[in-house]
Structure 1
């Protein structure tokens, strides 16, 4: 087929001057779409560049460049003295298999299969509303953003740019940051860490994922409290571990149940949030803490201690982490600045024995070569000049006032519909609703009125049901808390 096609087909082509894409590329895209939808077939001759240019009122060179572009990609072929043709190498392709629109089907669905991961189907993300009683987030309006900006900018203007920008560095994190974190944790949490015990991560979830990747084998048993944090549990499942849930009561995880499990089978890791259990906010009682450490020593399992909101405890001084009493290197301690500053700050740390940190750092290279050293250096500056510490003291006072007001509102305005215990710390109130209240319907109605709350699905299990959700108070002002409770009162 070597006769020129009618120029009529090219009258369908139009150009968008505001697209920012060159005319010759827009033309080549249009011709390619003709080939893909079957309007141009293999071996068919295209009109000459002079004719196309005259029809479309563009420069002949533009047409020539479009043809050349498609020749380079293999869609067209040119023969001196004979003209330009649709490539004969696509003769065996059916038009429908080449895609029938400017948006190829391949951009929507891949041609290869993917493993089923049902545990990732549900995402518990917060929609944006004017008001929110969230999962326990800080108020970014209080964060030292100006100070952080100055610290970050300073990193970009100081000397030693090659060390910061010109090469890769320690995958465990920059020494300056690791030293600052070690000093901070030793002072505030009673640890005895050095820089070699610290690994910089992009938040708690990366820390959990890294530990699962580096230290957990398929079939290993991981134990945690039920209800718990689904994001952590999804990591256990993804690592193909066997996850066993144990009961949580008003004193934290029931360690006696863990003891019975250890007597019957090998446990590789126990994941725990002892300071304020997620989601119920209860603290792990001292006798259970000591027994948990004893069991780890006896049975040789890892304790992954997720201390996600250590800095916010109101009743008395925060309880020191399990890691502060660990004498045998059984605890991997994890913290972040997501609850201190903002969830947008993906900065955190793992604390463990030096050989564990070295192993995790080697594995980390496979995922994230070294993290953001500029960001780490900026945070180290705020730790070393006590900006972070001053901010946390200020935020603690504000959040305690908000907790007190919020709990008073719940008691007075929703007294017949909810049951709760005033939390000793943290940023949420674990709130049980009357069984007559359908949380899913309540969440939808509240959303219509501009208030976001959880629908409770994140805390449901096949063998554990509760009509309770976390109502976060820290990220809302007093006025916003009052308005939020008024909405709930009207709905309940």
Structure 2
């Protein structure tokens, strides 16, 4: 064991004589911190009080008081005729942290000693509020999730298969899950893929980031809908590409708009959410889907198809994705599996030809080598046992009832002020104001009345005043209260 005089106590004990904290407490806290960090090994012998007082240039009684504090907190023990030692040699339980003096935070540097790049592109756009009611952009209601049942499956796998699934890294994903997910996507999306065409990620955003890293270079042109998903636009902007908006109407993205741009410049990628366009919720027509595939083949651009809200359809069967009709390898299909489940049970995926998949696995191996193979095993069993199908069928009935009720309430409270269409699926309604309203001011009015409207839901320019109003997370009573507040605030604002 190191002798006490070989340990550089002056390197980790810094005394601030202007601090409100007593000097003996400063010494005690910093010794505790040194033990926690390993600077003072378990079982190490501390210097005698006279020796340490000379090293630190303090009175011996100050060191005595510091040692008494360490002894009282259970960090050291005093052995007769031997000295004072750090407790912990052969300890099976970690020592519980008794206290932490936040004044010691001043010892850590507040700024770096080197320069680095900063960006405002990736500033967090999301807001939080203590309001009782709030609208979001359309997320499921976690209260409908059968968390107990999912947890039991998770616990069962831990007991039965933990030694198989936790004993190694697998950034390629669980083969069991990939096999079941590929079957699920083939049946529900009309795809014809194997597990070799799948990459498992943590989220849709991670999927888009990986695709962008491989396919996009600074200065490339990417087409998106006007309007488009802000989070995805942030990823594209970070990649240094030029984002060009394409008009969107009641049939979805304008094919003519895409064709006119292609005639004038080279396009690298088109991003779209054809099932329910974000944020307007319109569905891309089947005819336009085929026309976009033909344009991609003709002009050689990739299509990044996001299956946003694909699982949530009510009135009729969903139109199959572009990827189901792609025979030339022009479409990269991404999505989030288990969106109707609790957030901790969801995962992202990418579907693409094998040559691109090979390259994407390299990137995933860098940013997420470990993966979450245990959760993938859980999701794989939920697919294999039909649990996902049963849960979706049950939850879709609830969400359809909520959509219908939400539409009725909008007509009742705001029919004179906004126009909207009843969406065929998804968890949100696109509402456009008939009269000019300052949406930021309206948001402040609502907040004063206990309703939170995040700025990410507000869309306003010279030609448009609109909101994306999510209803999926609201029960009937919460819907009525929220829309009533929005209605009252609107009337108070426009008179």
Q: 1:397 to 1:346 in 2, by over 3 A?
A: closer
Tell me how many residue pairs correspond in the alignment. 431
Give 5+ residue unaligned stretches, structure 1: 1-5, 30-43, 67-100
> Is 1:157 aligned with 2:159?
yes
Tell me whether 1:381 sits opposite 2:381 in the alignment. yes
What secondary structure sits across from 1:305 in the alignment? strand
Q: Cα–Cα, structure 1 residues 56 and 104, in superposed 2: closer, same or farther, change >3 Å?
A: closer
Once the two structures are superposed, residues 288-314 of structure 1 have per-residue CA deviations (whole angstroms, 9 ceiling, x without a partner) of 111100011112211111011111112
1:441 aligns with 2:431: no
Specify the alignment match of 2:255 in structure 1. Answer: 255
Counterpart secondary structure, 1:377? helix
User: Which of 144, 147, 150 is the matching residue for 1:142?
Assistant: 144
Q: Where does 1:187-202 land on structure 2 (aligned, <5 Å)?
A: 187-202=187-202
How far is the alpha carbon of 1:456 from its aligned partner?
5.5
Match of 2:394 in 1: 394
- Change in Cα spacing, 1:219 to 1:26, as seen in structure 2 (3 Å) is closer
What's the CA shift for 1:142?
Answer: 1.2
Structure 1 residue 53 corresponds to structure 2 residue 70? no
State the distance in 1 between where 2:420 and 2:311 align.
22
Q: Secondary structure at the match of 1:484?
A: helix
SS across alignment from 1:138: coil
Whether the aligned pair in 1 keeps the contact of 2:24 and 2:66 (CA below 8 Å) is no
Partner of 1:300: 300
Q: Do 2:122 and 2:238's aligned partners in 1 also have CA atoms closer than 8 Å? A: no
Q: In structure 1, what is the equivalent of residue 333 of structure 2?
A: 333
| Structure 1 partner of 2:32 | 25
Find the counterpart in structure 2 of residue 211 from structure 1. 211
Most deviating of 474-483 and 47-56: 47-56
Say what the alpha-carbon RMSD is for the aligned residues: 3.1
> Compared with structure 1, are the counterparts of its residues 328 and 487 closer, same or farther at alpha carbon in structure 2 (3 Å cutoff)?
same
The structural deviation recorded for 1:210 is: 0.7
Query: CA 1:386 to 1:410, structure 2 compared with 1: closer, same or farther past 3 Å?
Result: same
Of residues 448-457 and 482-491 in structure 1, the stretch that sits farther from structure 2 once superposed is 448-457
Number of the residue aligned with 1:476 = 474
Q: CA deviation at 1:107?
A: 5.3
Asked whether the 8 Å contact 2:228–2:278 carries over to 1, the reply is yes
Distance 1:272 1:23, change over 3 A: closer
Q: Is the 8 A contact 1:11 1:55 kept in 2?
A: no
| Structure-2 residue corresponding to 1:411 | 411
- The residue that corresponds to 2:116 in the other structure is 114
1:127 pairs with 2:136: no
Query: Which runs of 5 or more residues in structure 2 are unaligned?
Result: 1-14, 37-53, 77-102, 491-495
Cα pair 1:180 1:384 within 8 Å, conserved = yes
1:402-460 deviation per Cα after TM superposition (whole angstroms, max 9, x unaligned): 11111111111111221111111110000112434221122222223322223367645
For residues 329 and 282 of structure 2, the distance between their equivalents in structure 1, rounded to whole angstroms, comes to 26
Q: Which residue of 1 aligns with 2:366?
A: 366
Q: How does 1:96-107 map to 2 (within 5 A)?
A: 102-104=104-106
Q: CA deviation at 1:105?
A: 8.2
Alpha-carbon displacement from aligned partner over 1:201-251 (angstroms, at most 9, x marks no partner):
111111100100122122221111111001111111111122111111111
Tell me, what secondary structure is at the counterpart of 1:471?
strand
Match of 1:488 among 468, 481, 486: 486
Shift of 1:370: 4.0
| Separation of aligned partners in 2, 1:471 and 1:344 | 24
**Aligned ranges for residues 213-292 of structure 1 at < 5 Å?**
213-292=213-292
- Report the CA distance shift for 1:108/1:486 in structure 2 as closer, same or farther (over 3 A): farther
Q: 2-side partners of 1:26 and 1:359: how far apart?
A: 45
**Alignment check: 8 A CA contact 2:203 2:348 kept:** yes
Contact 2:225–2:247 at 8 Å: present in 1 too?
yes
Q: So what's the TM-score if we normalise by structure 1?
A: 0.80
Offset from partner CA, 1:266-304 (integer Å, 9 cap, x none): 211110100000000001112211110001111221111
Tell me if the contact between 2:274 and 2:284 (Cα under 8 Å) persists in the aligned partners: yes
Aligned match of 2:429: 429
2:169 alignment counterpart: 168
Q: Could you say what secondary structure the match of 1:245 adopts? A: strand
Return the alpha-carbon distance in structure 2 between the equivalents of residues 244 and 460 of structure 1. Answer: 19
Q: Is the 8 A contact 2:315 2:424 kept in 1?
A: yes
The more displaced of 435-444 and 45-54 is: 45-54
Q: Tell me, yes or no, if the aligned pair for 2:459 and 2:465 is still in contact at 8 Å.
A: no
SS at match of 2:280: coil
Q: Is the 8 A contact 2:125 2:456 kept in 1?
A: no
In structure 2, distance between residues paired with 1:316 and 1:25:
65
